Amino acid sequence: MPQLDDLPTPALVLDLDRLEANLDRMAERAAALGVRLRPHLKTHKCVEIARLQQQRGARGVTVSTLYEARVFADAGFADITWAFPLVPSRLDQALELARRIDLGLVVDSPEAVAVLERSEASLAVFLKVDCGYHRAGLDPESSMPEKLAWRLAGSERLTFAGLLSHSGHAYAGRASCLPAGRQERDVMTGLADRLRAAGLEVPVVSVGSTPGMAAIDHLQGVDEARPGNYALYDWTQVRLGSCEVADCAATVVTTVVSSSAGHSVVDAGALALSKDPGPAGDGGFGRVYADHAAGRLEPGLRLTALSQEHGIVDAPLPVGTRLRVLPNHSCLTVAQFDEFHVARGERQVDRWKIWRGRD
C-alpha cells in the first residue's frame, strides 16, 4: 500500500485513528446520555464504517435513501430506519425490503398514511415531528400527530413505531446547538407524554443531529439518537463547536496544477468537494491544512471558488504542491467519491467503497 504522498489526486482520505476515536466518543456519549445510538449512514455510505459503529454498540442504523437501505441490508444490517418522508413511488421497493429486514418508515402527512394503508403491507411507521427546524414534520402543537398515531395504531398491518425528529436548526450557529437540542428533546418528550396520556403506546422517541448530541445536557425521555456526521466531522462542525480540527477524519488530497500572481488552481473542484458553502458568512469551499498530523490549518488559506473540476486557492503556490483540504460538509464531499483511501497517519492501509449510487 502506498504512502498518501503517492496517491493520484484528487483523493479522499479517511484517517482511521480519528474515525475510531470519533466512533468511540459518540458511543460513550450516547451511553452516558442513556440513549441507544442508531447512526445515520448517509454521511459515509460505507459498509466497513457501519460495521465499526455496530461493533461499538450501535443498535440499528439510519439511512436517507432506499438505495442505501438496500446496500446495508445486503451487507447484513437487519434493522434500518429510512429517515426520510415516504416517497410514494418507492413503496414497492420498501415493501420488498421490509420482507427481509426490520425497516422503519417515516411519514408526516395524512396522504402518506393513506398510501401505506392502501398497500396492505406490514410496516413499522414513525411519525416525523417538527421539533423547531421547520423543514418537515408534523406540528407537535396540532392534533395531527395524535390523529395519525391512532390511524397507524388502529391499522391491521401497520405499526406505530414512534416519534422521530431532526434538530437541523442546531446548524444555525454555535449558540444554537444547545437550545436546538433542548427544544428537540422537550418537544418530543412532551408530545410522547401527551400521546401516552391519550392511551397510545409510543415505542420509540428518536432524535438526532451531531451538533445537538455534542451540546445537549440530558436526554431523559428519549430512547435513541441518530447523529451521522460525527463519524467524519468537517469544517462546519468545527465552527459549530462539535469537534476540533484534529478530530476531522475525512480530507481531500489535491495538487496545484496551475499558478498565477494571485492564486493557484487545484484539481479538487465541485465534483470533489461539493459546492456546499459551509457555515453562514464564513466564505470558502474548504480549508487547507498546515499540518494534518497536528490538526492545524493554514490560517487564511482557503478554496475561494470551485468550478466542476477546478478549485481556486487564494495564494500563489508552486505547481505540483500537494495540499490536504478540510471540506465544509463531509457528507456531500464523500458522496462525490467512489472510495475512501483509508490511512493510518501517512500510510494507506486499505480502500473502502463508498456506496454513493442512486437508482
What residues make contact with its own copies under the rule CB under 8 A? 6-10, 42, 64-65, 84-90, 93, 108-109, 111-112, 115, 128, 130, 134-137, 139, 168, 255, 257-260, 265, 267, 270-272, 274-277, 307-310, 312, 318-320, 322, 331-332, 335-338, 357-359
Q: CA triplet 96, 130, 206: central angle to 5 degrees? A: 55
Taking the complex as a whole, the smallest distance from the CB of residue 55 to its own copies amounts, in Å, to 26
In the complex with its own copies, which residue's Cβ is closer, 95 or 246? 95
In the complex with its own copies, which residue's Cβ is closer, 60 or 168? 168
Collect all residues with Cβ–Cβ distance below 8 Å to 209 and sequence separation of at least 6: 166, 167, 168, 170, 171, 180, 181, 184, 227
State the Cα–Cα distance between residues 29 and 35, nearest whole angstrom: 9
In the complex with its own copies, which residue's Cβ is closer, 56 or 336? 336
Taking the complex as a whole, the smallest distance from the CB of residue 235 to its own copies amounts, in Å, to 15
In the complex with its own copies, which residue's Cβ is closer, 22 or 259? 259
Decide: residue 227, CB within 10 A, 0-12 exposed, 13-18 middle, 19+ buried. Answer: buried
In the complex with its own copies, which residue's Cβ is closer, 156 or 359? 359
In the complex with its own copies, which residue's Cβ is closer, 7 or 245? 7
Backbone φ and ψ of 336, nearest 5°: -95, -5
In the complex with its own copies, which residue's Cβ is closer, 105 or 225? 105
Taking the complex as a whole, the smallest distance from the CB of residue 145 to its own copies amounts, in Å, to 14
Taking the complex as a whole, the smallest distance from the CB of residue 302 to its own copies amounts, in Å, to 16
Taking the complex as a whole, the smallest distance from the CB of residue 34 to its own copies amounts, in Å, to 28
Q: The C-alpha cell of 198 is what?
A: 391519550
Taking the complex as a whole, the smallest distance from the CB of residue 353 to its own copies amounts, in Å, to 12
State the Cα–Cα distance between residues 262 and 260, nearest whole angstrom: 6
In the complex with its own copies, which residue's Cβ is closer, 17 or 338? 338
- Provide the 3-class DSSP secondary structure of residue 311: strand
**In angstroms, how far apart are the furthest CA atoms of the chain?**
71
DSSP-derived letter for residue 3 is: B
Taking the complex as a whole, the smallest distance from the CB of residue 320 to its own copies amounts, in Å, to 5
Decide: residue 262, CB within 10 A, 0-12 exposed, 13-18 middle, 19+ buried. Answer: exposed
Alpha helices in 132-209 (DSSP H): 144-154, 177-197
Cell 395524535 identifies what position?
Answer: 146
Query: DSSP letter string over 91-146?
Result: HHHHHHHHTTSEEEEEE-SHHHHHHHHHHT--EEEEEEB--S--SSSB-TTSSHHH
Taking the complex as a whole, the smallest distance from the CB of residue 96 to its own copies amounts, in Å, to 12
